[in-house]
Structure 1
Amino acid sequence: MMVKSFLLAALSAVTTLVQGHPSQERSLTERASTDRLVFAHFMIGITSDRTSSADYDADMQRAKSYGIDAFALNIGVDPYTDQQLGFAYASAANNDMKVFISFDFNWWHTSQATAIGQKIAQYASLPAQLKVDDKVFVSSFAGDGVDIAAMRSAAGTELFFAPNFHPSYGTDLSNVDGLLNWMAWPNNGNNKAPDATGNVTVEQGDQQYVSALAGKAYIAPASPWFSTHFGPEVSYSKNWVFPSDLLWYNRWQELLTLGPRFIEIVTWNDYGESHYIGPLDSPHTDDGASKWVNDMPHDGWLDLAKPFIAAFKAGATTVDSYITSDELIYWYRPTPKDVNCDATDTCMDPNASNSSGNYFIGRPNGYQTMEDSVFVVSLFTAAAEITVTSGGNSQTFQASAGANAFQVPMGVGTQTFSVTRNGATVFQGTSLKQIIDGCVCGLYNFNAYGSSPCFL
């Protein structure tokens, strides 16, 4: 059999091959209102450089091709918000996608219920507006305590309101139609990585929400990663990680078992927190995240999600029969976690703003919970043997047909991957990103580098 070798530079061609397989054929408007839906959280706040609806087309088309039904458009109160919402709604309509507004209460206030309702009314009648059970769908980031009755009155139309309220706060949930759980990562119960004070799994968070909702719609979160490293260069300094490692793969397995009505991917384009699954060339302004995002694609995570999304929508509890092509997906951090970058890192300044309590000096809070490993997921139509070489560490795995996950201890140097089937090498490739025993641009960079080589 001829060997096919792919480098990351050829990623776009690989993606085209994968996308050529049949996916979701029906348009969203043709699906019953009780069907399961998948959303992706989309940050409008970093899109001020987009000048027309066409600037959103590639995002809409790409998301749709992977089975994502709607973007949750996260908005603050920026002066360009309405212009960008107009572009996004128009692009969604042109590309048979849906969108809905997610009010970010980092910027909105719970006292603004009437203004929020009026903002909903501005866009409620547009063709791309997502409706669920014939009601205008609306969500939020935080917002516990907003006057829902006043908001509904100001909107002047029936709403399906599924905000990111928190059952643990004792918030009145009688007037919501569902809830979004944002906490997509293992945590300590206080918005940080698990530690001696607590260890809350994402599944435990699911159960808390499902119990509180008592049959109402649950928007379950799915996120591949979390790392943020803003220092004094911004007013919202924050520096922590959640343990992510194989979270993306494991979470999709959990979601097929859980079977919620909705899933929201966190996120499409939040580069600042490193959980983007959209492409790096999606137009956006730089809020300082480029220091750890440049040359760090996450394309493979979307490839990994595609068969799981199809399985979820079909009501399946396993993904295997929805894998229609052979793919090997990998990711890893660019340095071991114990490298010392104190002399040059931007988060060494003790005078950075810490009004949120999220700023920590030096390495990000929670860094110890990350594993120094190279992570590999196989999506195979037939069994094969995988060999991963990370620096001086090399391991071989037997991968069955279906989805499988493996990890190899991180080794400094070149990262190579090969697949053998029936005694013949059917894929071999070398990543363009080496793991270094040093500091990337002088920083502690806990973002992941990932791509999706493919063999057919």
Structure 2
Amino acid sequence: MKLTLTALALTAAVLCPPPAHAAKEVFAHVIVGNVPAFTLSDWTSDMELARAALIDGFVLNIAPQDPSTLPSVALAFEAAESLNFTLFFSFDYLAQGPWPADAVTALLQKHTPSPAYFKPNGKRPLVSTFEGPANAGDWPAIKAATDALFVPDWGSVVPAEAVGLAGGVADGLFTFDAWPEGDTNMTVDGDRAVQEALRGKEGGGGGVYMMPVAPWFFTNLPGFNKNWLWRGDELWDMRWAQVMEVQPDFVQILTWNDYGES
């Protein structure tokens, strides 16, 4: 009887497999300002290491006042093109103040034609931010000039508000809400709130959700008035299980190299 039941179970599994999900890209957030001395070889080595971990690409966090940004970005794209690795920009509006709209447009027009720049389904180039909701009004013109698929992190405002900024300019949302608060476990409540807001986006059709995944988070930087530890005992495993539950469009790992907060 056991053999018969096992055979039936195997037959059912073949004839009625569980629902399949399309492969989705996973990226790692890279603070470009933390690696001003990186050579082409360094960028290549890090990308090869990421690829070995099945990471599809890097999200290049760049700040407007950092003199190392432009040469570092050029090296990153040179390395990525040689490896068939993918990149896209996250414009940091918080670390050194907001980006001028014309500078954002110029960088996108220069680098999005690269075969290494990530374009979902081979179409529009994906662009993100770290904060910057006060500059949402810049993005209709930036999008018109670059055809960007705009998926910002505007976590300082609630998702229902973020999706409506500047006439609903965001095509989706990302969030840095990747850690639990206090002595509780991480839940998917924040992820569901973003997805719900995107489903209610004006015009219907929803939007792109990029889900954050992170291990522990601690920092002790007195110069920046930062000293805290967030719970992360089982977070890495738990969060990937939540990715399978939520089924976002993309995943972003926080972070690859933010050494002061990791």
From 168, 192, 204, the equivalent of 2:158 is 168
- 1:69 corresponds to: 56
2:128 pairs with one of 130, 139, 148: 139
Structure 2 Cα separation of the partners of residues 109 and 238 of structure 1: 19
Supply the distance in 2 between the matched residues of 1:98 and 1:74 (Cα, whole angstroms): 14
Give matches, 1:31-42, under 5 Å. 35-42=23-30
SS class of match (1:263): strand
1:43 to partner: Cα distance: 0.9
Whichever residue aligns with residue 79 of structure 2, its letter is S
* Sequence identity (%): 33
Match among 96, 99, 103 for residue 115 of structure 1: 103
Aligned partners of 1:36 and 1:242: how far apart in 2?
28
What CA distance in whole angstroms lies between the structure 1 residues aligned with 2:220 and 2:256?
A: 19
Provide Cα deviations, 1:151-185, integer angstroms capped at 9, x if missing partner. Answer: 224xx221111110235172325221211111100
Q: Show the 5 A alignment for 1:79-228.
A: 79-107=67-95, 109-110=97-98, 112-133=100-121, 134-146=123-135, 147=137, 148-153=139-144, 156-166=145-155, 168=158, 170-171=161-162, 172=164, 174-187=168-181, 194=182, 201-214=186-199, 215-228=206-219
SS at match of 2:158: helix
> Which SS does the other structure have where 1:118 is aligned?
helix
**CA radius of gyration, larger in:** 1
What amino acid maps onto 1:182 in structure 2? F
Question: Is there any run of 5+ residues in structure 2 with no aligned partner, and where?
Answer: 1-21, 200-205
Evaluate the alpha carbon distance shift between residue 182 and residue 138 of structure 1 in structure 2; reply closer, same or farther with a 3 A threshold: same
Distance in 2 between residues matched to 1:149 and 1:230, nearest whole Å: 37
Distance 1:45 1:127 in 2: 23
Map 1:37-436 to 2 at 5 A. Answer: 37-50=25-38, 52-77=39-64, 78-107=66-95, 109-110=97-98, 112-133=100-121, 134-146=123-135, 147=137, 148-153=139-144, 156-166=145-155, 168=158, 170-171=161-162, 172=164, 174-187=168-181, 194=182, 201-214=186-199, 215-231=206-222, 234=223, 236-274=224-262
C-alpha RMSD over aligned residues? 2.0
Tell me how far apart the structure 1 counterparts of residues 142 and 225 of structure 2 sit (CA, whole Å).
32
Contact 2:61 2:91 in 1 (8 A): yes
Structure 1 residues without counterparts, runs of 5 or longer: 1-33, 188-193, 275-456
Following superposition, which runs of at least 4 residues in structure 1 exceed 3 angstroms of deviation? Answer: 107-111, 199-202
Deviation at 1:35, TM superposition (A): 4.5
Check 1:151–1:202 CA distance in 2 against 1; reply closer, same or farther (3 A cut).
Answer: farther
Match of 2:7 in 1: none
**Structure 1 Cα separation of the partners of residues 67 and 40 of structure 2:** 17
- After superposition, the C-alpha distances for 1:100-139 in whole angstroms (9 at most, x for unaligned) are 1111111354572232222222211122111124011111
Q: Could you tell me which amino acid in structure 1 is paired with residue 190 of structure 2?
A: G
State the distance in 2 between where 1:163 and 1:179 align.
5
Aligned partners of 2:92 and 2:99 also within 8 Å: no
Q: Distance in 2 between matches of 1:71 and 1:152?
A: 21
Quick one: distance in 1 between partners of 2:238 and 2:92?
Answer: 28
Aligned partners of 1:75, 1:225: CA distance in 2, in Å?
23
Q: CA deviation at 1:70?
A: 1.2
Tell me which residue corresponds to 1:425: none
Alpha-carbon deviations, 1:375-413, whole Å to 9, x = none? xxxxxxxxxxxxxxxxxxxxxxxxxxxxxxxxxxxxxxx
Structure with greater strand percent: 1
Q: In the TM superposition, what whole-angstrom CA distance separates every residue of 1:20-53 from its partner, at most 9, and x where no partner exists?
A: xxxxxxxxxxxxxx75111110110111112x32
Equivalences, count: 226
Q: Which amino acid in the other structure matches residue 39 of structure 1?
A: F
State how far apart, in whole Å, the 2-side matches of 1:251 and 1:111 are: 32
CA distance in 2, matches of 1:67, 1:243: 26
| Alignment-mate amino acid for residue 168 of structure 1 | V
Secondary structure of the corresponding residue to residue 184 of structure 1: coil
Relative to the length of structure 1, the TM-score reads 0.47
1:117 is matched by which residue type in structure 2?
T
3-state DSSP class of the match of 1:244?
A: coil
SS in 2 for 1:273: coil
Is the contact made by 1:185 and 1:202 (CA closer than 8 Å) also made in structure 2?
Answer: no
